[in-house]
Structure formats: structure tokens, C-alpha cells
Amino acid sequence: MEINTSVDNSIAFEAKDVKSKDRTDEELEEQASFFSQLLNQSEKSEEVSYKTVNTDSDSLLTTFVDPTNGKMVAVSLSKDNISKLEEYFGTSDIKRNADGTVTLDNKAESYVASWFEDIAYKREFLKADANNDGKLSQEEYNQTKNNFEATVKISIDNKEKVSVDVEETVSGTYINANESDTYTSLYRSEDRAKNLDDELNMTLSINKDFDSKIDMSEAYSTNENITKEGLLLAHVNSLKIEDIVRSKTQDQENPNASSLTDLSMQLNDVFSLIIALLLNSDDEKTKNILNKLKENNGDVSILNDYERDIVDNILKLDSPVDGKYNVNEIDKIMELFKSYELKGKPLDEEKTSSEAKLDKTII
């Protein structure tokens, strides 16, 4: 069976246009001097919109004007991002000051400021930092809207050779992040932003064409420990099917067989189950069979030959013990029908597909 994965060019995040201001050398020097005074003040100033507490040897303190209120913003931008800004906008838009700080001007300023506005206000990073310490705990991060929702479409082509296409598209933007010990947001899986500067640097680094839009390919490029293809297949495996996978792979004699870390093991079981259900023309009959079994405590004798064939060859329930199917397994598959809308055509049709929405994946 051939499996193909892809994402479209739909947009996860998009910054608003910010009008640029091309200052004279004298005006830019005055701006840099004024910002330097604000940075050296020990007390909080009303002229400062955001001042980072995050600095390291690989970053430079960078200042520009907040487009929402005209106040100073001071962020820690990576040296790599500063170099990329210089290459794209020219060195005249990036003023490197004698004290080691950087002051942005003109189009470089409007570009970075537009992403700052998007992250600070639309993705609500400033609001989420409840104690104003410049850092985001996991609880605070989950208050940001640094995530998106995707629709995953699974299509089965049954011509000469069965092939499966898995395609994702953005279906909802600026939704709450969803990080826990079990789940991780679609965006920046397993590598959540620790502060506003962190996210600004990430956004600048992945928006390689400087179009002020983050499409799905760019968004998924933030996941360094897994390929885009692997991530999409992991998303399929997280569609409320994990309990079914666990029950199918579990082997009492081999505890390692129940591990969900082996993606290939998950993939084979999940896709076999999805395809079987998608290509089954009797979905409602299947649900009725499950209900009948549950009402009779899994008693095999209440099934006719056709129903027994569905249970054994499509749902692939474990063999009955003392004339009864496992009720817990029946409950899990009934839950699958509730949580994942499966609509398909019979196997003799050339192509069928199903869609489901997701905003997180299992880790």
C-alpha cells in the first residue's frame, strides 16, 4: 500500500501591514539615543511597550517602535535573524549602535514590528504573561493563541493498487495552544515558545520569503525532531484512535508490543482500521451490531453469519472467550465511531475519503 502525505499553502498566521518610516541619519541617531536612555532607566517607563529580560551571547538587544501605541519595544533577536534582515532589507535599515544594541528603521522596522504586533497582541503573548516576568510557564503558554487547527483528509484510491493520500489544510487560526505531558499543539510540537522573544525569533526564521505569512509548510518546519511526513502520520494516529491502536498492538507476553513510540507499528494498525471502516458500506449496520453486542454483554450467539463476519473481519475484535467478546473492546470501538466521523463508499468504488479536524497531536 502506497501512502502519500502533503500540506497545502493555507495560512496559519499572518501579520498586518505596518507603514514604514524612512528616517534621516540624524533622525535615526536621535531615535537610537532616546531608546538607549530608556533602556538604561532602572524604573519602568511609560514610554516602553515591551522590554525583554532574555539576553544571551547569540542575540542582540534590538529596538523599534510598537505600531499599536508608538512606544519603544526592546527584544532579543538572534544574530542570525539580524544578519538575514540586513541581507534582505540592506544595512541602512539596521543601525548597529556603539553600545552593541540595534535600532531598526524603515522597512526592516515595519516588518519586524508587524510580527511583534501579531505575536504580542493577536496571539496574546503579553496578556498570557500573567506575572509580567517576561517568561511563559506551560500554564501561561496555554493562554496564548499560538496554535492553529487543521483538517486532515484521508483519501483512498482503489484502482490497480490501493494508495492512501493524507493531506492537511488550515481550518482555524489563532486558537489556544495545547501543551501538556500527553498532548502538544500542532505548531512547534515539543518545542513551545518560552517567551515572546523566542516566538518572534522563530517566526522570523521560518518566514523565509518575508511575505509576513506563515503557511503550513513553514509552520511545520518548526518541528526539528520529526519530518513533515512523520508529523502528518502522527496526526492521523492522534485522531482519537490511540486506545484502539493500543488494544490492537498489546501483547501480554511482550510488554514492548504495546509501546506507541514505534510509528510503523502504529501506522499499520491505524490505517488498516481506518481503511476497513472507510470502505465499509454498512456503517450504520456496524454501529447496530456493536450496540446489540454491548446490550448482550458480548454474547456471540446473538449474531448472524453476516454480523459475525463484520465483527471478525472488519472490526477485527479479539476472539471470544467463553462465547463472549470483550465488552471493554466493544466500548472502545463505539467511542471511535462517536469521536471520528467516518463516511465511506464500498470497496468497489475507485476513491473514497474522510476528513477530521485536529488542533493537537499525541507525543
Q: What is the pLDDT of residue 289?
A: 87
Q: What is the pLDDT along the chain (363 residues), one digit of tens a residue?
A: 567 888 899 999 999 999 999 999 999 999 999 999 999 998 889 999 999 998 899 999 999 999 999 999 999 999 999 999 999 999 999 999 999 999 999 999 999 999 999 999 999 999 999 999 999 999 999 999 999 998 877 776 656 665 677 788 998 999 999 888 767 788 887 789 999 999 999 999 999 999 999 999 999 988 777 778 877 777 766 654 433 333 433 433 344 433 333 333 444 444 545 554 444 444 567 778 889 999 999 999 999 887 887 788 767 788 999 999 999 988 887 776 654 443 334 334 455 555 667 777 655
Sign of CA dihedral 243, 247, 253, 259: negative
49 occurs within a structural domain? no
Q: What is the pLDDT of residue 336?
A: 64
Give the structural domain span for 269: 237-362
Q: Which long-range contacts (CB under 8 A, 24 or more apart) does 131-139 make?
A: 133/53, 134/52, 134/53, 134/54, 134/195, 134/196, 135/53, 135/54, 135/194, 135/195, 136/193, 136/194, 136/195, 136/196, 138/179, 138/180, 138/192
Number of domains comprising the chain: 1
- For residue 16, which amino acid is it? K
Angle subtended at Cα 122 by Cα 172 and Cα 132, rounded to the nearest 5 degrees: 130
110 occurs within a structural domain? no
Main-chain dihedrals φ then ψ at residue 206, nearest 5 degrees = -90, -20
Q: What is the pLDDT of residue 308?
A: 86
For 37-160, strand residue ranges (E) read 48-51, 59-65, 72-78, 94-96, 102-104, 147-158
63 occurs within a structural domain? no
CA 30 – CA 73 distance, rounded (Å): 16
348 occurs within a structural domain? yes
Q: What number of other Cβ atoms are within 10 A of residue 161's Cβ?
A: 8
165 occurs within a structural domain? no
Please state whether the predicted TM-score (pTM) of the whole model is above 0.75: no
Q: What is the pLDDT of residue 259?
A: 35
Q: What is the pLDDT of residue 252?
A: 36
315 occurs within a structural domain? yes
